[in-house]
Amino acid sequence: MKHHHIDGTANLAGLFTLSLRWVIGWTYFSAFWRRLILENKLIPEEAGYIGEKSNHFLPNALGIKPIIEYLVSNPEALQTSMVIFTIIEAIVGLFIILGLFTRLMSIGVFFLALGILLGSGWIGTTCLDEWQIGVLGIASGFTLFLSGSGAYSLDKYIMDRPYIFTSRIWFRWLGSGTLPIKSPQTKILIMSVFIFGLTLFTNQYFHGGVFGTLHNKSVKPKIEISNIRQEGSDLTFQLFRVEGADVYGSFLIRIEILDKNNEVVKFIGQDKLARFPNDRIHNHYVAKIKPGKHSLVIPLGAKADVSIDMGEILLKDGYYLKLTDISGTVWTAKIKASTAEV
C-alpha cells in the first residue's frame, strides 16, 4: 500500500517551529490545566470564577462587546460557554503539543488568540499583556498553519506509516506535509500584511501605541455615573466601572450629595458603605458591586443600580453626586431636579 511521507522541505519547516509549537500548545492547554486540574475555576459561586474575568473584558472590548454583554447578563449561558471554551483550549493545546492535525489546530490557535485580542487587548497594567498575547498568538497560529509539524509529531508518525488517508489532499490541509497552495508568496504576503495591520490598528486603538498620546486603561479606576433619578425618598443611580486593574476592585469610601454651593446635604461614609444593604444594589452582570470589609467594592466591568435614602431632602437644580475612591480619585455627576418622580 502506498503511503505519503513528509518531504524534506516540509519536514524541516515543521522542525524549525518545534519550540513554537510546544510553547503555543502549552499556553492554551495550561488554561484548562489551571481551571480544572490545579483548581476548579468553573464554579460560579467560587472565588476566581473564570466567567467573572470575562466580565472584566466588557467595557472596552472591540467588536464583540454585545456577545460578552449577553453572556455576563445570563449566568447559565456564561458558564456553559466557559466550559466549552475551556474544552476547546484543552483540545487545541494538547493536539498542537503532540503535533496532531497541526494545521486544523493552528486555525483554532488563530481564532482563540483573535478572541483574546478583541476582548481583552486593552487590559495590561505593565506591558500591555493581553494585547501582546493576542497578536503573538495570531501570528503564531498562522506560522504553524504554514509549517505544519515535522519531526517529533504524531502527524509525521502516522504519515510514515501505511495509512491511506495521509495521502489525501485534505490531510495536508488539516494535518501536515507539503501545503497544497499555489503562488504561496503572494498569499502569505497578503495574510502577513493583514496580521501586521491588525497589530498596528489594535495597538493604536487600545493604547495609542502608534501615534498620539499613549494611554493605558488598566492603570487607575474610572466609574461612569448615569441614570440618576429620584423615586420617592430614594435616589437611584447607575454605576459602571469601565477602567482600572482587573485583579482588584475600586474601593468606594464616600458617597456625597452636594448643593450648588458645594455644601454637603447627604453623606455616606466608609463604615456605612462597608455595611451597605445588598437589597439596595441591583447588579446587572456576574461581576457584582457589593460591600467589602472597609468599603463598597466595584470590580472592573461591574454595573449596578444603587439606591440611597434621601429622607426629607428635596433635590434642586445645581445639586450633584460625588463619589470618592480610596485612592483619592473622585467622580461627579450633576443631578437635575427633573429627575424627581412625582
Report yes or no: 134 and 116 within 8 Å, Cβ to Cβ: yes
Q: Using the Cα atoms of residue 57, residue 77, residue 227 and residue 251 in order, give the sign of their dihedral.
A: negative
Q: Against a cut of 0.85, is the pTM above it?
A: yes
Which has the closest alpha carbon to 319: 264, 268, 269? 264
Query: Among 69-73, 102-106, 271-275, 332-336, whose mean pLDDT is lowest?
Result: 332-336
pLDDT in tens, 29-85: 999 999 999 999 999 988 889 999 999 999 999 999 999 999 999 999 999 999 999
The architecture (CATH level 2) of 222-341 comes to Sandwich (2.60)
Contacts 24+ apart (CB under 8 A), 184-188: 188/146
| Spans of all domains in the chain | 8-207, 222-341
**Does residue 18 carry a pLDDT above 50?**
yes
Cα gap 158→116, rounded to integer Å? 33
User: Phi, psi at residue 143, to the nearest 5°?
Assistant: -65, -45
State CA 333 to chain mean position distance: 29
Torsion of CA 287, 289, 292, 297, to 10 degrees: 90
